[in-house]
Structure 1
Amino acid sequence: MSDFDDRSMRERMLAGDLYIAGDPELAEHNLRAMDLMDAYNATSARDPRERRRLLTELLGAIGEGTEIRPPLRVDYGSHLRIGARSFANFGLVALDVTPIVIGDNVWLGSGAIVLGGVTIGENTVVGAGAVVTRDLPANVVAVGNPARVIRTIEPGTP
């Protein structure tokens, strides 16, 4: 790392540049996320209002009608934005050291892993256990490690 770079470690991280993960600001941000994740993952399915409140506090954005089934794992949470009417089955891991954007009406299968810097287009299905390492376009089905598109979905198809 350059001695002439006056950006914070968080700014470096979000830019995808080298950074020190143990930086006090980043460490506190991560601990906050861990506390909120633990609380969310411990909530009852019978308490959707509390689940929604915790997700709203944890994530950068969460659209109307979106459901995430615990357990959920994130690095910071605030760098993860999920659109409306999306669904993440059990065990989503979103490594949001750089921003992750998940569009509207996206279905993430159980155990999916989404790496930082990835955008997943609207109406996309990500298969169970898939590892999303790069952007996925709208209206596709993607599976595997690394996730690859296996077919296109016609918009409006159930």
Structure 2
Amino acid sequence: MDPRERDVRNRMDQHELYTDAGPGLEHLTEERLRGKDLADDFNATRARDEDGRQRILHELFGSMGENVWVEPPLRVAYGNHVHLGHTVYANFNLTLVDDVDIYIGDRVMFAPNVTITTTGHPVHPELRRDGSQFSAPVHIENDVWIGSGAIILPGITIGAGSIVGAGSIVTANVPAGVVVAGSPARIIRKIQDADKQFAYRAPRDLQ
């Protein structure tokens, strides 16, 4: 491994600022291109080609359990830093900015247009001029449901069984067993035993 690449990977792991392109970082560039090529191949598959889709996903992701279903299109930064458990469902337009690891547990569901990003940029413009960024892993625990258009920011953990409401921006860790929503996302309520009795509730009229 080139010394500069080793330094960049250490900076990624320590959540320090880094740039990921340039001399000595050709392997990182190739790693990203490989993931994007595989995502393009996956997005070009026919709807009936389930075997082909599964084969590509196994090649793309760092690890993947059984009974995983992803609807194209899918976007990744690398792909090989994504780790999925069993019985994961992702609807259209899942975006995974996986400069470092994204861990997704069992029985997790993603509605359309969800973004998970492990990477951001510093606040002060002088620190961004060379493209510097930072990264921190994201953990989504078992039985989580992420609503349409939600955005999960770097370093976030979403606790088991919780729900992230549609359009939410998650900027802080979410405990287990709650419903969060909003921008930034806040706890709306706890999930209770009463929720085991499902009944559809029609939307209220705005006042």
Range class of TM-score, shorter chain? 0.7 to 0.9
Task: Show the 5 A alignment for 1:50-69.
Answer: 50-69=52-71
Q: Could you tell me how far 1:68 is from its partner in structure 2?
A: 0.7
Q: Could you tell me how far 1:44 is from its partner in structure 2?
A: 0.9
Name the amino acid aligned to 2:169: P
Q: Which residue of 2 aligns with 1:146?
A: 169
User: Structure 1 residue 137 and structure 2 residue 186: aligned?
Assistant: no
Name the amino acid aligned to 1:130: A
Q: Could you tell me how far 1:29 is from its partner in structure 2?
A: 0.3
Mapped to 2, the partners of 1:53 and 1:136 lie a distance apart of 29
Corresponding residue to 2:146 among 111, 126, 135: 126
Q: 1:32 to 1:154 in 2, by over 3 A?
A: farther
Mapped to 2, the partners of 1:5 and 1:102 lie a distance apart of 30
Contact 1:89–1:109 under 8 Å retained in 2: yes
Contact 1:88–1:109 under 8 Å retained in 2: yes
Mapped to 2, the partners of 1:69 and 1:138 lie a distance apart of 23
User: Structure 1 residue 7 and structure 2 residue 27: aligned?
Assistant: no
Mapped to 1, the partners of 2:140 and 2:89 lie a distance apart of 13
SS in 1 for 2:18: coil
Q: Which residue of 1 aligns with 2:30?
A: 28
CA-atom RMSD in angstroms: 2.3
Mapped to 1, the partners of 2:107 and 2:5 lie a distance apart of 40
Q: Which runs of 5+ in 2 are unaligned?
A: 119-136, 171-184, 199-207
TM-score, normalization: structure 2? 0.68
Q: Could you tell me how far 1:34 is from its partner in structure 2?
A: 1.1
Q: 1:45 to 1:96 in 2, by over 3 A?
A: same
Mapped to 2, the partners of 1:11 and 1:43 lie a distance apart of 36
- The percent identity for this pair of structures is 36
TM-score, normalization: structure 1? 0.88
Q: Which runs of 5+ in 1 are unaligned?
A: none
Max Rg structure:
2
SS in 1 for 2:15: coil
Q: Which segment is superposed worse, 146-155 or 20-29? A: 146-155
Q: Which residue of 2 aligns with 1:94?
A: 96
SS in 2 for 1:40: helix
SS in 2 for 1:35: helix
